[in-house]
Amino acid sequence: NGAGALLEAASARPDVILLDLGLPDMDGIDVIRKIRGWSNVPILVVSARSDDTDKVSALDAGADDYLTKPFSVEELLARLRVALRRVRYDTSRAGDQASIYENGELRIDYAAGCVYRGGTEIHLTPIEYKLICVLAKNTGKVLTHNYLLNEVWGSPAASDTPSLRVFIGNAAQKN
């Protein structure tokens, strides 16, 4: 399901994501958008949806490739190899600094999925980690509650504002 995929992607930090658009709890396009808010992991869509509009929507949302069912295992493996080659190439060109954010005592190691304050690791929940990453990505900008809710949870519902405040408060108090 989509919620499980988001949680797994945030906690396991996979090398590549295989995603079917037909999920029971949300549309796969929404999952792609949410993952793209905090990760550049390659996303390969495997779907029975063969219309060009579905393919274009998935690719525009941030998918790296799209494979229509039915497909051969050989083609799937070849596309996975391409995605992994691209990651290795990008990583070798960018170096380690591209995956690290530093601002004062705050340090985020995106590759390891860890946050440090003053050299000490801060243990965050997946939601707190996503929230910190969104805030770091937008350093110096004023962000609305709706923007944060949409980026972290994918829904700008006003009723979620108290939850957002709690998560921000909890993340700020952690040492």
What integer best gives the mean pLDDT of the chain?
84
Give SS3 for 51: coil
pLDDT recorded at residue 20: 94
Contact status, residue 41 vs residue 9, Cβ threshold 8 Å: yes
pLDDT recorded at residue 66: 96
Model pLDDT for residues 67-108, shown as the tens digit of each residue: 999 999 999 999 998 888 777 655 544 444 457 888 889 898
CA neighbor of 38 nearest in space, from 107, 113, 91, 94: 113
Residues of the chain with CATH 3.40.50.2300: 2-94
Contact status, residue 128 vs residue 167, Cβ threshold 8 Å: yes
Class of domain 97-173: mainly alpha
Distance CA 128, CA 132 (A): 6
CA neighbor of 17 nearest in space, from 74, 58, 69, 56: 58
Residues of the chain with CATH 1.10.10.10: 97-173
Residue 148: pLDDT band (50, 70, 90) is confident
Burial class (CB in 10 A: 0-12, 13-18, 19+), 37: middle
Model pLDDT for residues 28-53, shown as the tens digit of each residue: 999 998 888 778 888 999 999 999 99
2-94: CATH superfamily: Response regulator (3.40.50.2300)
Burial class (CB in 10 A: 0-12, 13-18, 19+), 68: middle
Model pLDDT for residues 13-32, shown as the tens digit of each residue: 788 999 999 999 889 999 99
